[in-house]
A and B are shown apart, each in its own frame.
Chain A
Amino acid sequence: MQSTMTDMETSAAKPLTQILEQIAEHKGCGTSSEGGKASCGSSDGPADMAPEVWEKVKNHPCYSEEAHHHYARMHVAVAPACNIQCNYCNRKYDCANESRPGVVSEKLTPEQASKKVLAVASAIPQMTVLGIAGPGDPLANPAKTFKTFELIAKTAPDIKLCLSTNGLALPDHVDTIKAFNVDHVTITINMVDPEIGQHIYPWIYYKNKRYTGIEAARILTERQMLGLEMLTAAGVLAKINSVMIPGINDKHLVEVNKAVKSRGAFLHNIMPLISAPEHGTVFGLNGQRGPSAQELKALQDACEGDMNMMRHCRQCRADAVGLLGEDRSAEFTTEKIDEMSEVVYDAESRRNYQALVEAERMEKVAAKEAAMANLDTTDIKLMIAVATKGQGRVNEHFGHATEFQIYEVGSAGSKFVGHRRVDLYCQGGFGEEETLPSVVRAINDCHAVFVAKIGGCPRDELKAAGIDPVDRFAHEFIEESAITYFREYCAKVSTGEIEHQARGDADIRQGAYIAAA
């Protein structure tokens, strides 16, 4: 036991430096890899993506970083059963990576789910995606999952269907997935080596038998790889989710990234482990820690040269509703849906609304490109935290922000690199002193924070912590503003007015995203 711990600690200490070395070889945004793919994550449009892929993902908030500012998704919890056990999940309290502990998702029948989708789509015209993500595994509940898709395809054909799975049952269902026109599937792949897998998966249930240990992990990885290959052959877009578990699979995820890329996955989402002890998961109880913000970013950057990386995942609940980072599920409980009489599906107003959104997106891209003009070449890179309500604008007050979006900006341009949850600093118009240090810890790796408005007290304290509070870009586009700020910053550095310094690490807050209601 003692030696195992020591091994884990040593291996946990290594990866960051190794990963950082790998990054040094990869210069980040704007460079092309051998594959000819630009590496600006999934945030850009057609420039770094095949047109047919862009067509499929452009209004999918979980597949396109840029789209998530504008389009909403919803999950329906029709799939409670699961066929594997993961050490980061405790089904007694629902899945820790999908739901707040102690709050069990409301299970829905396919009929209830279908009615809920129509009600939400009518109330939120930017809702374009319906996903089935559990709370178990959708493909361990094939009858319920596919019945739901069938009902929705009939009544709301413009809504994109997607599902996420652990992959164990995937090879059995690829034909059905294709037949239902599901063109987005997410597979959670945490390893491609059973030696590592045995520390993540205590057991799987496969062909009427419970397998444990290395055999379980071997079967799981074989099925995942086969399923991914079959999806690619069938022309279904596959995104890979991986949970970064320091000391167990952090270094290995670079191998996972290569394995999934070579099998045709088009987007890789590496998420931090959520492991609070109160969740009651194996990892939570044995003290397995999650990664820091810098460790997570380093790993994402290391993988980015090979593949589009997703960094905007909110690890949301299996019954989330709304834009990523907000949750409107409380407005659409089964009780409220049942009370609604026949819901009329208004496809026309949805189309009109979405046309407006597209126009604004074009404006945003044009503004970013204009700001990029004549940018000097420099090695300086800034990290900027942004308080936003969406639409890609700086439009949230510092004290009202429950999360900050993090952008990295350099002479190659700006890119979204992550988000940080924080406790609400301000409630009812006055700031609460206690929460400010936790906000500072969450964005401690940033040089500046862009806000629509900020009070005097937090402004001074942020400055004391070395973070520049900036409110002059209120309601402007985020990326255009970030590039403008960067240009001014570089000018000040060259005149000697300020000295550029790299910032420290930051905390990733534990717990899946739920809106602070």
Chain B
Amino acid sequence: MAYKIVASQCTGCSACEPECPNVAIREKNGVFIIDPKKCTECIGHFDEAQCVAVCPVDLTCVIDNAYPRYQA
């Protein structure tokens, strides 16, 4: 039920942080991480996941298969 940020891909640019409607993103050790408990995949807020839409590096914000998909 959540996105995750691939740490090796993250440039630490912070673009995703203010866009997250759930305030689920924060900085840790120079890169950004998503709190899976807060992430709703932007369902109910926007048509597309905001972190994915704004991230400058492809395949950096990806679905975390460790969690079941979010159900609104």
Contacts and interface: CB of A to CB of B under 8 A. Distances in A.
9 contacts: A81-B18, A81-B54, A82-B56, A91-B56, A92-B11, A135-B13, A136-B15, A205-B53, A209-B48
A82 B15 contact: yes
B72 interface: no
B46 A81 contact: no
A243 B32 CA distance: 31
Nearest to B15: A81
A294 interface: no
B14 A205 contact: no
A85 B13 CA distance: 13
Contact of B54 (A104, A143, A205): A205
Contact of A91 (B46, B52, B53, B57): B57
Given A83-B54, A85-B56, A209 B14 contact: no
A81 B48 contact: no
A346 to B, nearest CB: 34
Nearest to B16: A81
Nearest to A136: B13
Given A208-B46, A210-B48, A82 B13 contact: yes
- Interface size for chain A: under 10, 10 to 19, 20 to 34, or 35 or more residues? 10 to 19
B45 to A, nearest CB: 8
B36 interface: no
A57 interface: no
A81 B56 CA distance: 9
Given A91-B56, A91-B57, A208-B19, A81 B13 contact: yes
Interface in B21-72: 46-48, 50, 52-54, 56-57
A209 B42 CA distance: 12
Contact of A92 (B18, B19, B54, B57): B57
Interface in A43-87: 80-83, 85
Contact of B15 (A92, A94, A140, A208): A140
A88 to B, nearest CB: 13
Contacts of B57: 91-92
A350 interface: no
Contacts of A80: 11-15
Contacts of A361: none
At the interface, is chain B mostly helix, strand, loop or mixed? loop
Contacts of A82: 13, 15, 56
Nearest to A85: B56
Contacts of A210: 48, 52-54
B49 to A, nearest CB: 10
Interface in A291-350: none
Nearest to A84: B56
A81 B51 CA distance: 12
B12 to A, nearest CB: 7
A141 B53 contact: no
A205 B19 CA distance: 11
Interface of A: 80-83, 85, 91-92, 94, 104, 107, 135-136, 140-141, 143, 205, 208-210
Q: Which 8 A-B pairs have the closest CB atoms?
A: A81-B15, A91-B56, A210-B53, A80-B13, A205-B54, A81-B14, A81-B13, A208-B46
Contact of A209 (B9, B11, B47, B56): B47
B59 to A, nearest CB: 11
A92 B8 CA distance: 10
Given A205-B53, A209-B48, 14 more contacts: A80-B12, A81-B54, A82-B15, A82-B56, A85-B56, A91-B11, A91-B13, A92-B11, A92-B56, A140-B15, A208-B50, A208-B53, A209-B46, A210-B54
A82 B55 CA distance: 9
B55 to A, nearest CB: 9
Nearest to B54: A205
A136 B16 CA distance: 13
Contacts of A141: 14
A94 B13 CA distance: 9
Contacts of A140: 15
A119 B9 CA distance: 34
Nearest to B50: A208
Nearest to A80: B13
B9 to A, nearest CB: 8
Nearest to B11: A91
B43 to A, nearest CB: 14
A182 B19 CA distance: 26
A210 B48 CA distance: 8
Contacts of A136: 13, 15
Nearest to A94: B11
A92 B60 CA distance: 11
A83 B11 contact: no
A9 to B, nearest CB: 29
Nearest to A135: B13
Contact of A107 (B12, B46, B48, B56): B12
B24 to A, nearest CB: 16
Contacts of B14: 80-81, 141
Contacts of B54: 81, 83, 205, 210
Nearest to A86: B56
A52 to B, nearest CB: 37
A292 B52 CA distance: 38
Contacts of A107: 12
Contacts of B15: 80-83, 136, 140, 205
